Amino acid sequence: MLPIHTIQSITLQRGDGRNLRYVLQLRDPMDNDPFIILADDKFAHNTFADHPHKGMQTVTYVLEGSLTHYDSKTGGGVRLAEGDFQIMTAGRGIIHNENPDPGEEVRVLQLWVNLSSDNKKQPSNYQDLPHDSAPVKAIDGGQVTVFAGDVDGTTSPLALLTPFIFAEVKLEKGARYEFPVNAGFNTYLYGLDGEFSINGEALKAFDTVHFDITENEDVIVIEATEDATIVVFSGEPIKEPVIAQGPFVMNTQEEINEAFASYRNGTFLEGVPY
C-alpha cells in the first residue's frame, strides 16, 4: 500500500459569490510538484472577470451546472456541462474568463498543473473531453473514469505536457478497489461524496489525502463504507524552481515581474490586442 503522508478535512470558505474549498494550497510548491493548487469552487455569474495566465495549465472538471469559457486564443465560447473535463494550456500566455449563465451557479474542481521551463514557452491551447467521451473502466462494485493519463490500461485521449493522472472513482457500499500509482509520482486523493477508507483510515467527503512518493509502483486501497465518489490526481514532479504569484507560475521572480509588467503595458499577448 502506498504510505499516507497527511490527511486533512477541507473546510468551506464563503464570500465574493463563492463557496470554496482549497483542497491543495500554495504553501510549499515543491511539496505539491507538479501541481500548484486544487480548488473545489462553486461560483456565480460574473465572479471572474477577464484575467491572464502564464506558465501553467488549468484543469477543470465540472461537478454541477455549466459554464462558458471565452479567451484570447479561440475568441469564442467553449461550453462545459456537468461531467465535462478541460485542459487549458496557458503556456506563454492567455487571457480568459469562465462564467455560468446569468442567475446560475457552477461547481468545478480546478487543478493547476505546472509546466517545465521549456513547456512554459508553448502556445496556448485547449483540449476538451465531454463526459460521454471519457474512457470508463468497469470494476467490481463501481467504475473509474479516466480524464487524464492512464489507470490500469484505461487511457484518456488527451495529450499531456506534464505527465499526470486525473481520475474519478465511484464505488458502491462494500466495494473495494486497489488504485495503481506510478513509481515516483506525487499523489493526492479527495473525497467528493460518501464515506470510505484509504489504506484502513476512515474518511468522508471533503477529506483529502497526500501520499508519500515512492521509488516503486504501488496501490491505494480504497474501500467504500457507504456509496462513495473520490478523485485521484497524481503527477510526475518536474523538479524545477517554482515561483507562483497571482495567475502566473514561472521559474524565477524576474520572470514573474516580466509577466505582470507585460500584462500592464499591453504586450502580454505578444502585442496582439484582446
Residues annotated in a binding site: 51, 53, 96, 98
Torsion angle of C-alpha atoms 44, 50, 53, 59, degrees rounded to 10: 30
Cα separation of 53 and 214, whole Å? 32
**What are the CA-CA distances from residue 187 to residues 46, 138, 190, 234 (Å)?**
33, 22, 10, 4
Cα separation of 101 and 67, whole Å? 7
Query: Which residues, in sequence order, are bridge partners of residue 113?
Result: 35, 57
Nearest Cα to Cα of residue 151 among 167, 162, 139, 138: 167
- Report yes or no: 197 and 171 within 8 Å, Cβ to Cβ: no
Cell numbers that stand for 49 in this block: 472577470
Q: In degrees rounded to 5, what are phi and psi of residue 116? A: -65, 165
Cα separation of 67 and 47, whole Å? 12
Q: In degrees rounded to 5, what are phi and psi of residue 8? A: -135, 145
Q: Which residues are annotated as a binding site for Fe cation?
A: 51, 53, 96, 98
The CB-side HSE value for 259 (13 A sphere, CA atoms) comes to 28
Q: In degrees rounded to 5, what are phi and psi of residue 33? A: -40, 125
| DSSP 8-state assignment for residue 4 | E
Cα separation of 95 and 120, whole Å? 15
